[in-house]
Structure 1
């Protein structure tokens, strides 16, 4: 085989791997969802009844005045099995805006506000969650309640859970071998293009990946919509969440290494606001990528763990390495384009450099490969959810490749930040929304 053929085959292999993997992921996820729900019901009582009896919703809040009121009101309206109501614990992590006033205006017996002041405050979301966890653990011990029956849910300051979220989490946690559940994440403000693309990402791509991980017992926890047994957190010590920039990912890895089962469900969801400013979105994705890089310190433990099978390990490693693989592929493709340009500029001094007709044919394939996955996910979104028009979904699909390029920029920025030791982050801006009605008063405190 000549060098020219090698370059051609390698280039097409890289380009076609993306649409092929997309079709494979969609196929596996769709086939698995139908069988998994029946399997969960069949296995749920095999190890005893672990149905939760007490729920705490933790809302970490730092300068959330425009959204936290709706978040708290929505959380107070959630109910679990037997109309069990959730207590809501807001961790005000040193807010200096109107957040304290908004919270003070909500008078409800199931709402508790923990105000953290400097120097303890503003040390990251993980530390705020740890403070809430220690408070709940103390309250549970004083009440003589089994930590196996207590569940802590994390809903971000802009998050709102679906009405059935506690019922669905309870159903998943009936199996005592399961210690945590991650629900699907959706975007509320998807009327804007960036919001629509992010909802396409969360509602279809992330959902399919998490569904496949559910099959492989490698579900990752997200920062929003994670529900964990108190007993599983107690096994991790006084500070289950760390200072990692993606404390949720690290918590999931620690639980897998500890042998704790984690499940994913798309039958309940938590909605959040999209970041609709390109600069702020790049900053958010850079933080996620840098946190992913920080979790590389668990690689040795994952590889040597006897609790994680080879297939599951491969998926975990793929999850950790995928941003960096994409970055390397981008370098390869850029180099290939540079070689092609050099060939045209130099008049083909080497026989393996492409000619104009080769470039035109490759450009057609490249355009098809670039847009094909986005349109596939748009059709999946329409088929599964039916809450967006095909036109809007196709517009989001057209913008999806540019959205991925933004992710690549974030990856390179994350590498630079990690290499230079930069860890500080600015707060993600929230958008004002229509105010929700006040929660109905409790006739009896059922939580």
Structure 2
């Protein structure tokens, strides 16, 4: 028994070191690259914030942008989203896909009206087959417009915006500059969370606006930025190259699309010239359900790795980066959730090795030493967030740093729930609930 415990302790140490090395080489490197790029582009990490109050910018000559807005019972938010698009994105055309709503979504869309809005209605049994199916239906309408008007598909961009999404004024126009490079097939905007007075929404904004956004900027170097469900742009000719249904039935159809673009040699990038805001979730149960779906789709996407490595169009840096990204749940989240708790338990209650000794002394002293490492990371995350936002003083950011553990443990729980769903072959897609917001008269997020 003693030998078995010692063996487990030794394995724990090796796994802990492996997780730390992988995190340092992959996550921290991308984060550092993202910080450098963001500062170069905007002069400071807060440079993007001014875009919320920028003037709307017309689309460059020769470019067309269609915004797909998939809707399923979105009467609470769709009016604000459409008004912000009409006022803040001159020249864009909007295709609203009503995916079998049984509320007033369609009536609200008709009430907003305008010759720039097209409503496409899906009815059962075709409706409610997933977001990917709804987007493919909307794309069919975009293709019909492009063919009828004789548009150059390489100069037509398709944007996906959730029903609660609001882009910064002129974002659609500014994104077109990224596509002047013919190698670029997709681009993803950074995401902010609205209603940051609530602690749960503040934590989600920290996660999206600081960690995710800066890491995404770092991935610009390899051209493998991950496409998200809100604020994604794709070149129509790139979508045509994937097929008639570029969005899959995956639980994360956005991630799947990004992999498909990369596999065909397209560069997927991001930009600091715009961002998109969206609602967050305050219910712990709904938040866990949402993140479980995200992890389920992410972890299932590992099946695409052989395709990525078999296609010559994907460069070596892109293959390596995407491989690391797809393996994060398996090589970081799952083992870290086990190692962290096992090491603390052994160090406090056991009489074995426990954790490697960072400092001389008792086990409990080394527990504190080891726990100081993640807390230093939490503090760094909070300070990065403070540098990225203008509505949180530095002292509050420091006080918020321990709360980052909530995000960590949410990831642990969601990852294990997703793994269980994969093992038991359960596949559940749950729509994110929306909150009622006051009508907007401004297009700023």
1:328 to 327, 330, 335: 335
Q: 1:98-129 CA deviation, whole Å, 9 max, x = no partner?
A: 21222121121111111111011100000000
Match of 1:112 among 111, 118, 135: 118
Task: Measure how far apart 1:150 and its partner are.
Answer: 1.1
Cross-structure match for 2:79: 69
SS in 2 for 1:431: coil
- Does residue 1:379 correspond to 2:389, yes or no? no
Distance 2:30 2:288 in 1: 26
Distance 1:332 1:374, change over 3 A: closer
Q: Which residue of 2 aligns with 1:221?
A: 227
Pairing partner for 2:297 from 283, 291, 294? 291
Do the aligned partners of residues 25 and 144 (structure 1) sit closer, same or farther apart at CA in structure 2, a change above 3 Å counting?
closer
Cα distance in 2 for residues equivalent to 1:299 and 1:418: 17
Which residue pairs with 2:67 in the alignment? 57
Q: 1:399 aligns with which of 400, 403, 413?
A: 403
Which position in structure 2 is the counterpart of 1:266?
Answer: 272
**Separation in 2, partners of 1:112, 1:226:** 19
2-side partners of 1:16 and 1:295: how far apart?
A: 24
Q: Which deviates more, 333-342 or 255-264?
A: 333-342
Gaps of 5+ in 2: 1-5, 44-59
Tell me whether 1:32 sits opposite 2:37 in the alignment. Answer: yes
**Residue in structure 2 matched with residue 41 of structure 1 by the alignment:** none
Give CA-to-partner distance per residue, 1:134-159, whole Å, 9 cap, x none: 11101110111111121111110110
Q: How does 1:187-198 map to 2 (within 5 A)?
A: 187-198=193-204
| Structure 2 CA distance for aligned equivalents of residues 9 and 132 of structure 1 | 51
Residues in 1 aligned to 2:396 and 2:259: alpha-carbon distance in whole angstroms: 36
Instruction: Please give the secondary structure, in 2, of the residue aligned with 1:314.
Output: helix
2:377 equivalent to 1:370: no
Tell me the distance in 2 between the aligned counterparts of 1:305 and 1:144: 32
Quote the residue 2:393 is aligned against. 389
Cα separation, partners in 2 of 1:401 and 1:157, compared to 1, 3 Å:
same
Rounded Cα–Cα distance in structure 1 between residues aligned with 2:23 and 2:271: 25
Equivalent residue runs for 1:305-344 within 5 Å: 305-325=311-331, 326-340=333-347, 343=350
SS in 2 for 1:77: helix
Counterpart residue number, 1:412? 416
Q: Which moved more, 1:293-302 or 1:7-16?
A: 7-16
Counterpart Cα distance in 1 of 2:166 and 2:283? 21
DSSP-derived class of the 1:163 partner: coil
Residues 324 and 411, structure 1, Cα contact 8 Å, conserved in 2: no
Q: Could you list the per-position Cα deviations for residues 19-60 of structure 1 after superposition, in whole angstroms to 9, with x for gaps in the alignment?
A: 95676444332223455799xxxxxxxxxxx97611111111
CA change 1:27–1:260 in 2 (3 A) is closer
- Call closer, same or farther: CA 1:107–1:24 in 2, change over 3 Å: closer
* Map of 1:98 onto structure 2: 104
Distance 1:119 1:207, change over 3 A: same
Q: Please tell me the root mean square deviation across aligned C-alpha atoms, in Å.
A: 2.8
Distance in 1 separating the partners of 2:11 and 2:118: 63
Q: What is the CA distance between 1:92 and its match in structure 2? A: 0.7
Distance 1:115 1:401 in 2: 43
Provide TM-score, normalisation by structure 2. Answer: 0.86
Q: Which stretch of structure 1 is more off in the superposition, 381-390 or 107-116?
A: 381-390
| Alpha-carbon distance change, 12 to 332 in structure 1, aligned in 2, over 3 angstroms | closer
In 1, the alpha carbon distance for the partners of 2:91 and 2:28 equals 42
Partner of 1:42: none
Contact 1:184 1:270 in 2 (8 A): yes
Q: 1:24 to 1:299 in 2, by over 3 A?
A: closer
Partner SS state of residue 114, structure 2: coil
How far the C-alpha of 1:385 sits from its partner, in A, is 3.3
- CA change 1:119–1:391 in 2 (3 A) is farther
Aligned to 1:45: none
Question: Which secondary structure does the structure 1 equivalent of 2:317 belong to?
Answer: helix
d(CA) in 2 for partners of 1:331, 1:9: 12
1:185 deviates by: 0.7
Q: Which residue of 2 aligns with 1:78?
A: 88
Q: Tell me the number of residue pairs that the alignment of Structure 1 and Structure 2 aligns.
A: 417
Alignment check: 8 A CA contact 1:16 1:369 kept: no
Whether 1:212 and 2:222 are equivalent positions in the alignment is: no
